[in-house]
Structure 1
Amino acid sequence: MNLDDIISAIYDLPEESRILLQACIVEVNFPKGHVLIEAGKIESSVFFIKKGIVRAFSEVESNSVTFWFGTEGDTILSIENYVANRRSYESIELLDDSQLYQIRTDKLQELYHVDIHLANWGRKLVEYELIKTEKRLITMQVKSAADRYTELMEKSPDLLRRAKLIHLASYLGITQVSLSRIRANIGK
């Protein structure tokens, strides 16, 4: 996904503001398996996915619990790092060789102070991340595992082909065996 589309999806910027923002963004490449953000550390950058797939997870009682997937066009950041400059509680791992756009958080904060349009863009960025988090939380609380899987099939069919079953099952809050049963029942 190209950078202009990612920026515009968050908030439409005037050309001057877009140029300021794009001048601070670099393209980076990382291999599959790379941990972009580590739990317990402060990440000094925000990333946007040009190409690839990532997962956010936490270690709970020696188990890796996946709670978010990101694909092309999505933002990668630890809200804890970004908003409060505190250590993240999650790790974010690349599930494919990935091409990302990167901007340093301190540079982004500087831009917010010099350009009101960029400050509004940053506000919208966090608002959209909050909405996505709220939707995931509500879905996990009120829908059955089968309904969550069906919704995933409808909204992100590509994710089902690209992510490992162990990560999908963890994301849905079920075991791999339960996921296999759900998939078999849906296939009937």
Structure 2
Amino acid sequence: MDIEQIIDRIYSISESSKSLLLQNITEIHFPKNHLIIKADKIEKNIYFIKKGIARTFSFVGENEITFTFGKEGDTIISLKSYIENKKGYENIELLEDCQLFELKTENLQKLFLENIEIANWGRKFAEKELIKAEERLIFRQFGTATDRYIELLKNYPNLIQRIQLNYIASYLGITQVSLSRIRANIK
């Protein structure tokens, strides 16, 4: 996905403001399995996925709990680092070779002070990320595992073929055996 499309999906700004923002964004590449954000570290960058898949997870004891997936056009961010400049709690791993757009948070913060349109874009960006977090919380709290799987299929039909089943099971809060049963019953 093109970076201008990603910017416009968040909040439409003038071409001159968009040009200022684009001057601070670089395209980078990382291989599959790269840990782009690490827990207990202040993350200094925001990433937008041009091509590839990522997953966000944390450890609970010895277990990894996956709580989000990102695809083309999505953001890779530690909200705690972005908003409070504090250490995040999440790890974000790339599940495919990825092409990303990188924006340094420090540069974005400077742009907020210089350009009201970019400041409004940043506000809308944070609001949309907050809504996504709320939707994930509600998604995990309500409905059966089958309901959650059907919702995942509806919202991310192509993602299912690109992600390992153990990550999907973790995301749904069930075992891989339970996921296999659900998949068999849906077919």
Question: Under TM normalisation by the shorter chain, which class is it?
Answer: over 0.9
Whole-Å separation in 2 of the counterparts to 1:155 and 1:87: 30
Residue equivalent to 1:98? 98
Alignment of 1:49-128 (within 5 A): 49-128=49-128
Q: Deviations over 1:2-29 (max 9, x none)?
A: 0110000000010110000000000000
Describe the superposition over 1:149-184 as per-residue Cα deviations: whole angstroms up to 9, x where unpaired.
001111101110001000000000000000000000
Partner of 1:8: 8
**Partner residue of 1:137?**
137
Letter matched to residue 81 of structure 1: S
Question: Partners in 1 of 2:78 and 2:121 — Cα distance?
Answer: 17
27-36 vs 134-143, greater mean Cα deviation: 134-143
Query: For 1:178 and 1:61, how far apart are their aligned partners in 2?
Result: 21
Amino acid at match of 1:126: A
106-115 or 138-147: bigger deviation: 138-147
State the 1:73 CA deviation: 0.3
1:179 aligns with 2:176: no
Deviation digits for residues 97-116 of structure 1 (CA, Å, limit 9, x no counterpart) = 00000010000000000000
Amino acid in the other structure paired with 1:125 = F
Residue type of the partner of 2:63? N
The residue type paired with residue 14 of structure 1 is S
CA shift, 1:61, in A, is: 1.0
Q: Distance in 1 between matches of 2:112 and 2:124?
A: 12
Instruction: Provide the rounded CA distance (Å) in 2 between the counterparts of 1:159 and 1:144.
Output: 20
TM-score between the two structures when normalised by the length of structure 2: 0.99
Aligned length: 187
TM-score after normalising by structure 1: 0.99
Which aligned runs of 4 or more in structure 1 are off by greater than 6 angstroms?
A: none
Are residues 1:21 and 2:21 paired?
yes
Corresponding position: 1:43 with 2:80: no
Quote the offset at 1:140 in angstroms: 1.0
Question: 2:58 is matched by which residue type in structure 1?
Answer: S
Aligned-residue identity in percent: 54
Amino acid at match of 1:133: A
Identify the residue that residue 161 of structure 1 maps to in structure 2.
161
Distance 1:19 1:71 in 2: 25
- Residue in 2 that maps onto 1:148: 148
TM-superposed CA distance for 1:131, in Å, is: 0.6
Q: Which amino acid aligns with 1:135?
A: E
